[in-house]
Amino acid sequence: MRRNINDLMQVPAQERDLSWLTDSLQAAIRLEFATVPVYLCGMWSIKTQSGPAFSSIRSVVIDEMFHMGLACNMLTTIGGTPELTNVPTYPGALPGGVRPWLRIALIGLDKATVDEMYMQIEYPESGPIAHFKGETFPTIGKFYDAILDAFRKLQASEITGARQITQGQKLFAIATLADAERAIDRIKRQGEGTSQSPFSNDFGTNLAHYYRFAEIFRERKLIQLPSGEWKYEGAPIPFPDAFPMAEVPEGGYPDVPKALEFNQAFTTMVGHLQQAWVTGDGNELGAAIGAMFQLRGPARELMQVPLPAGGGNYGPDFRLIP
């Protein structure tokens, strides 16, 4: 990635050309990728891999993976190639300078993590909750708005439909401007909801990510009162018991065999993802999904081993093996 999101958003709108769009989509891919390991650590740390909290986090992970896939399709359709092997490192800021005060890390599930990290990553620009005031940095939603504006400036022939990977209704080909509009609308809605409600669709069936995490934190379902106000006063959502996975330190655990086993599987998964969009071969995506299922076992084994110095347990560090 040649420019970060902060830099990209400083470029005047009239100068946001095909090169700008290519760089921006690569930044978007890296941003979407960065959230997946964070949420997986919380999900895998839940002792009983079931229940409403587990299901909510799992659904967000799936959404984020498809968001990354849609961003990859948007990049390849304009002639770019995703750089998926440039994986984020932890702990640190969100890639690209979005919400620079927010620090993300790999750590097990607890209330502070949900409140101070998960909910802040997904904080809506608008909708039933107030937006932060006085922001001087780009938000994720505004960044995707800028990407869509740049798509609208392209000639129809510049959206080629090349090297598209599809899977069901969640990952679809980007062959026209309308496809790009649909993809960006889906990404924004699933993260933030609409401007009128906390739901990601017009049917009121799927909560946006922020509100799913808020339900876990509040331990109650979000409901709309007769007054029209939204409150976390619905059915109980018990906060799950989780392994005390400590925050993974910078550099991870290079000398821990189980961490190496995890990273071998992670490296295989990322390699298949990279090949999928280099070649446009959907079988490579299938292989990546298969490799992803190999990650949970060693991750959960790590989460049950106490650190020698105390302070919690080991956890996966999501590092590539050269």
Q: Rounded to a whole number, what is the distance in angstroms from the first to the last CA of the chain?
A: 20
Question: Which value, in Å, is the radius of gyration of the alpha carbons in the chain?
Answer: 19
Half-sphere exposure of 172 (CA within 13 A, CB side): 13
Give, in degrees to the nearest 5, the angle at Cα 243 between 240 and 248: 125
- CB neighbour class for 154 (10 Å; exposed up to 12, middle 13-18, buried from 19): middle
CA dist., res. 121 & res. 104, Å (int): 9
Beta pairing, strands 92-93 & 103-104:
antiparallel
Q: Are 180 and 160 in contact (CB under 8 A)?
A: no
Retrieve residue 218's tokens. Answer: 């509040």
In terms of average pLDDT, the best of 89-98, 119-128, 152-161 is 152-161
What is the structure's pLDDT at 87?
Answer: 87
Q: What is the DSSP string of 171-213?
A: B----SHHHHHHHHHHHHHHHH--SS-SBSSTTS-SB-HHHHH
Listed range (87-96, 249-258, 278-287, 295-304) with the worst mean pLDDT: 87-96
Residue 109 neighbours by CB distance under 10 Å: 27
- Our measurement of the distance from residue 139's CA atom to the centroid of its chain's CA atoms, rounded to an integer in Å, reads 14
What is the residue whose two structure tokens read 């990279």? Answer: 274
Question: Average pLDDT, stretch 93-102?
Answer: 78
Give the CA diameter of the chain.
60
Question: Does residue 129 register a pLDDT over 50?
Answer: no
Q: Specify whether the backbone of 193 is left (phi greater than 0), alpha (psi in -120 to 50) or beta.
A: left
Quote the mean pLDDT of the chain. 87
pLDDT confidence tier of residue 135, bands split at 50, 70 and 90? very low
Encode pLDDT of 204-253 as tens digits.
Answer: 567 888 889 999 999 999 988 888 888 899 999 999 999 999 999 999 99
Q: Which helix (H) or strand (E) holds 224?
A: strand 223-224
Residue 230 is classified by DSSP as E
Give, in degrees to the nearest 5, the angle at Cα 296 between 294 and 297: 80
CA dist., res. 275 & res. 22, Å (int): 19
What is the structure's pLDDT at 208?
Answer: 83
In terms of average pLDDT, the best of 154-158, 188-192, 197-201 is 154-158
Residue (of 38, 26, 87) closest to 322 by Cα position: 87
pTM of the predicted protein model: 0.90
What is the structure's pLDDT at 138?
Answer: 57
- How much of the chain, in percent, has pLDDT values that exceed 70? 89
